[in-house]
Structure 1
Amino acid sequence: MARSPFTLAAAVTAALPGAEVVGARPLTADGDGRFDSAVVTLADGRELAIRVGDDDETSRELAAEALALRALTAGARAMLPFRAPEYVGETRLADGRALVTELLPGFQIEAAHVPRGRGAASSVGASIAAVHSLPASVVRGAGLTARSAEEVRAEIRRLVDRAAATGRVPARLTVRWREAVEDDDLWRFESAVTLGGAKATSFVFEDDPERGPEVVGVVDWHALSIGDPAVDLAWLSSAPDAAGDVHASYAESSDRAPDAALAVRARMLAELEFARWLVHGEVLRRTDIVDDAAALLEALADGLRENDLSVIAARGEGVDSALDALDRVPETAAAGIDTSMHTDAYNPSDLLPEEIADAPAGDATEDLSDVAAAWGEDSGPSTGSGTESSESSFAEPVEAAKTEPSDDSDPADEAQRAARAALHRWTNSSSE
């Protein structure tokens, strides 16, 4: 692959006849290489994103994204308090499928560094609730996937059984997950329209002078479906600072019946990403992936306290430190919770401070010794992602978010200032 932005810019004119292209630049830097991508500037000032997939998997993702964006009619978009990218067109580039969409400008932030408090966290919760409030006809009318609570439960049961059959899942995790699957109280939920697996970088922010950072756009719609609302909250296991405020804002903004088990199912789905990675490696007959997944599962099991053998007893506690490294699981391993496109559309490494962005990326099968050592602690969630040094400036916004307010200051204002500080560690995606 590795087509130049100018080659991709030429393809835009095929997807959008009559378009006058005046500029092009890379859309991602140091991405995972699954898509060729670029930002194209038109004579009228619009900026478009073009992505090209050359294999069956990436082509399917682009086709699904196109279908989902077209399913978001003007009426559906009017119900959302943020923007979704507009579908522009599709074309072929050699043997690859190319999708052209509107580029949404704004900030992004990785999960471990989403700050608590008013602003970013509350806006994310309200945005997820808005997606879940969309009418089911948006999905059904486009022929997209729809699952009932029982179908979701059956799918999880199959995943747990398949992972256990490899013989590489610690027994206490198998027990934990199977007890959760059989707990009827966890599965009494109303299916909703979901993104099919939101991530922190699915949300695009701008800084409002009065209200602080707010979600102004959501990307990564290719898994749009009807299913378990918890799937869009599973990423919060990697956002220990913000999780409580996101959940609270979601509950306050939702017009749906309260779901007492929502956070527990979200935690379980996060844990099961390691199981998906294991099954993925087994299917591919990749011993390196299987061994890596097994090590992750062992570390996860070690992070459970003795009285946290079941999800029912734990009710979501006791495994935060292990889940800090959830982002180590490559997104291509997910089946049904696949969220890979957002890292190509809006690669977080593009938005990091230069000294961080230039650092070499970690490999999916890198040495686990440092991470496993951190997981072994039972003192609570880590503030890092498991891949950055604690001395890195990248962690400073999180530390700022944890600063205790002075006696004469408003805690809400302190949290909002911390949110701004965190978000402004990233540059505007449309300004490069």
Structure 2
Amino acid sequence: MELAALATAAVPGLSPTGVAAAADDARDFTSAVVIDSEGHRWRIRSPQHQEAAMRLETELQVLRGFSTGIRAELPFRVPSVAGAVRRGEMRTFVYNHLPGTSLELSALAQQPQAVIEDIGRTIAAIHDLDEAVVDNADLPRYSAERYRQRRLNELDQAATTGEIPALLLRRWEHAMEDRDLWRFTPAVTHGDLHEDSLLIEGERVMAVTGWTDLHSGDPADDFAWLTAAGDAEFTEKVLAAYRRHRTGEVDEHLMRRAALTAEFALAQWLVRGHASENPEMIAEAKGLLEQLKTDIETYGGQPIALTPAEGEAPVAPAEVQDSRPVARAGAAATVADTGEWADSGEDDDEPAVITDAAASGRSNHEDVREEVTEDHDQTGKVPAFAPRPLPGDEPTGSIPVIMDQPPAEEPLPDRIFEEEDEGDLPIHPDEASERRAKEKHFFPAVASASSAASTESASSAQSASSAQSAAPVDHADPEPSSSPASPDSPESPDSPESPDSPASADSAASPEADEDGQESIYQRHPGLRPPAA
């Protein structure tokens, strides 16, 4: 119920009548689906710690970059932010609800060919996006060689834990040192794509969520989740569909790097556990690493390097490889509740209960401690690798270090949010990016609300006459209706609406106002009306 209250604060006028849990990573976010009095659904997502808050702020920048033109060209829908409210030092976001349901990987592999074809088309559409989407959000772009070097730096950092089996360290380093494996053309990459990110309805991928790690880099990262499918036929069908729909180049070693990414994610999970001092994450990562080591010793593992390491047997071809799928770290943190509404027949008018697990024992993100483990043969630990400096780039781990930054001097330009931004944010847009954001109308639905009101009032003299006799607009409202500034308009986006303006008068006289004579959120902002469930 706390999330429902936050949704009301983030989107004034929203009247919740029910709430249910939404599938998400419970270690990072508390999520729910809220249904309002008009039967529309909204998704609310609240961060559990500072690093998760930083990811949501990054996602906000990404979603702003999806202009109307870009969204129209995509074969799927992406979320839209309807509002935000501050919860302590972090912000909780409310999104327009998207159609479709996420499926378990095993169930996804059993879907009809049309769904599998659409999954390949969806990934291809992401990789064919213009890199301006990345640039507008001030997110990183990597060349193939720089991306390989970053992977090596992350491997060095993981080795400092002294808890990664030596077999895996040698295997990963050999693959990362193989330059021929890393000859790829960088592309816009989702960065956190997996089965929970795909919302399926019928035989279509209706929407893609989780845009917190967008960047330009290795497209193989978006195929890592398929290595956990355990169904080679399903993986091959998705890859074949991807090749058919992709307009850019598809390199021949893509699935080898995808398998490497899936394996190395276990080491990154271990580093993240140490950084947050979370013993549960550390124990989970160590268990998964031991399973992977045993699998490789028994079966040989999935092929990653192009040539075998010194002293190792030749790598078997992929089609005859007998290996278990790589488990995705953190998958167990997804909430068990599927977001269904109560159907027991009792108290149907009461909201469902949110069942997200709390991130117990979790602390805010800290720098990974730089401890060098000595070489002790009796413990099985391995020495740390020597750091590999990258020109123009500091070595990084799997988690970006949050640096001290001065508070933002100006609030974000959108009038959707109820209050000004404060504190440290991961991205501080400069004057040029602010201007581009206003020119591109990243929230055209909000902008159309004022235009629709003006057209409606101008089209009928009778409506204008009725509006003049209506009660004036209450200017004590902290969120006056306004549309984002247009480059052709001299008016400031922060200027409140005049009580004598046709739009205000028409709204006040609207016959769809509630019993207290106050217009609902959907009259003030028609563009925020989400699609009916």
Query: Which amino acid in the other structure matches residue 191 of structure 1?
Result: P
Q: Which position in structure 2 is the counterpart of 1:66? A: 60
TM-score by length of 2: 0.57
1:300-334: per-residue Cα shift (whole Å, max 9, x none)? 121125766863235657474151x3245677xxx
- Which whole-Å CA distance do the structure 1 matches of 2:328 and 2:242 have between them? 22
Q: Which position in structure 1 is the counterpart of 2:254? A: 262
Q: Secondary structure at the match of 1:152?
A: helix
- Which whole-Å CA distance do the structure 2 matches of 1:175 and 1:88 have between them? 48
Q: Which position in structure 2 is the counterpart of 1:281? A: 273
Q: Which position in structure 1 is the counterpart of 2:291? A: 299
Q: Secondary structure at the match of 1:311?
A: coil
Residue in structure 1 matching 2:106, options 93, 100, 112: 112
- Which whole-Å CA distance do the structure 2 matches of 1:95 and 1:310 have between them? 43
1:28/1:285 Cα in 2 relative to 1: closer, same or farther (>3 Å)? closer
> Mean Cα displacement is larger for which, 230-239 or 23-32?
23-32
Q: Which position in structure 2 is the counterpart of 1:10? A: 8
Unaligned runs of 5+ in 1: 208-212, 332-342, 365-429
2:224 maps to 1:234: yes
Query: Which amino acid in the other structure matches residue 303 of structure 1?
Result: D
Shift of 1:93: 3.5
2:176 maps to 1:174: no
1:189-241: per-residue Cα shift (whole Å, max 9, x none)? 1111111120111111111xxxxx21011111121211111111100011123
Higher helix share: 1
Q: Which position in structure 2 is the counterpart of 1:321? A: 324
Q: Percent identity?
A: 32
> Mean Cα displacement is larger for which, 308-317 or 190-199?
308-317
2:142 maps to 1:147: yes
Shift of 1:289: 4.1
1:284/1:245 Cα in 2 relative to 1: closer, same or farther (>3 Å)? same
1:45/1:256 Cα in 2 relative to 1: closer, same or farther (>3 Å)? same
2:59 maps to 1:57: no
- Which whole-Å CA distance do the structure 1 matches of 2:278 and 2:235 have between them? 34
Q: Which position in structure 2 is the counterpart of 1:89? A: 83
Tell me how many residue pairs correspond in the alignment. Answer: 338
- Which whole-Å CA distance do the structure 2 matches of 1:104 and 1:22 have between them? 17
2:172 maps to 1:220: no
- The question of whether the paired residues in 2 share the 8 Å contact of 1:277 and 1:289 is answered with yes
2:31 maps to 1:37: yes
1:336-389: per-residue Cα shift (whole Å, max 9, x none)? xxxxxxx5xxx56416999xxx9999x99xxxxxxxxxxxxxxxxxxxxxxxxx
- Which whole-Å CA distance do the structure 1 matches of 2:116 and 2:102 have between them? 12
Query: Which amino acid in the other structure matches residue 28 of structure 1?
Result: A
1:85/1:289 Cα in 2 relative to 1: closer, same or farther (>3 Å)? closer
1:254/1:36 Cα in 2 relative to 1: closer, same or farther (>3 Å)? same
Q: Which position in structure 2 is the counterpart of 1:26? A: 20
1:30/1:274 Cα in 2 relative to 1: closer, same or farther (>3 Å)? closer
1:107/1:62 Cα in 2 relative to 1: closer, same or farther (>3 Å)? same
1:88/1:107 Cα in 2 relative to 1: closer, same or farther (>3 Å)? same
TM-score by length of 1: 0.69
Query: Which amino acid in the other structure matches residue 165 of structure 1?
Result: T
- Which whole-Å CA distance do the structure 2 matches of 1:307 and 1:142 have between them? 41
Shift of 1:20: 4.1
- Which whole-Å CA distance do the structure 2 matches of 1:288 and 1:21 have between them? 38
- The question of whether the paired residues in 2 share the 8 Å contact of 1:36 and 1:52 is answered with yes
2:89 maps to 1:99: no
- The question of whether the paired residues in 2 share the 8 Å contact of 1:11 and 1:93 is answered with no
- Which whole-Å CA distance do the structure 1 matches of 2:33 and 2:341 have between them? 20
Shift of 1:166: 2.8
Larger radius of gyration: 2
- The question of whether the paired residues in 2 share the 8 Å contact of 1:274 and 1:329 is answered with no
Q: Secondary structure at the match of 1:303?
A: helix
- The question of whether the paired residues in 2 share the 8 Å contact of 1:299 and 1:322 is answered with no
- The question of whether the paired residues in 2 share the 8 Å contact of 1:85 and 1:102 is answered with yes
1:275-319: per-residue Cα shift (whole Å, max 9, x none)? 112222333455654444233212212112576686323565747
- Which whole-Å CA distance do the structure 1 matches of 2:355 and 2:97 have between them? 26
- Which whole-Å CA distance do the structure 2 matches of 1:115 and 1:352 have between them? 23
Query: Which amino acid in the other structure matches residue 338 of structure 2?
Result: D
- The question of whether the paired residues in 2 share the 8 Å contact of 1:76 and 1:138 is answered with no
Q: Which position in structure 2 is the counterpart of 1:245? A: 237
Shift of 1:84: 0.7
Shift of 1:9: 3.2
1:25-64: per-residue Cα shift (whole Å, max 9, x none)? 1243796264343333456654221222253122212211
- The question of whether the paired residues in 1 share the 8 Å contact of 2:21 and 2:33 is answered with yes
Shift of 1:168: 2.3
> Mean Cα displacement is larger for which, 44-53 or 257-266?
44-53
- Which whole-Å CA distance do the structure 1 matches of 2:286 and 2:14 have between them? 52
1:77/1:215 Cα in 2 relative to 1: closer, same or farther (>3 Å)? same
Query: Which amino acid in the other structure matches residue 254 of structure 1?
Result: R
> Mean Cα displacement is larger for which, 114-123 or 178-187?
114-123
1:64/1:310 Cα in 2 relative to 1: closer, same or farther (>3 Å)? closer
Shift of 1:114: 1.6
Unaligned runs of 5+ in 2: 307-314, 343-353, 361-531
Query: Which amino acid in the other structure matches residue 47 of structure 1?
Result: R
Q: Secondary structure at the match of 1:168?
A: coil
- Which whole-Å CA distance do the structure 2 matches of 1:38 and 1:277 have between them? 25
Q: Please, what is the CA RMSD of the aligned residues? A: 3.4
- Which whole-Å CA distance do the structure 1 matches of 2:37 and 2:195 have between them? 32
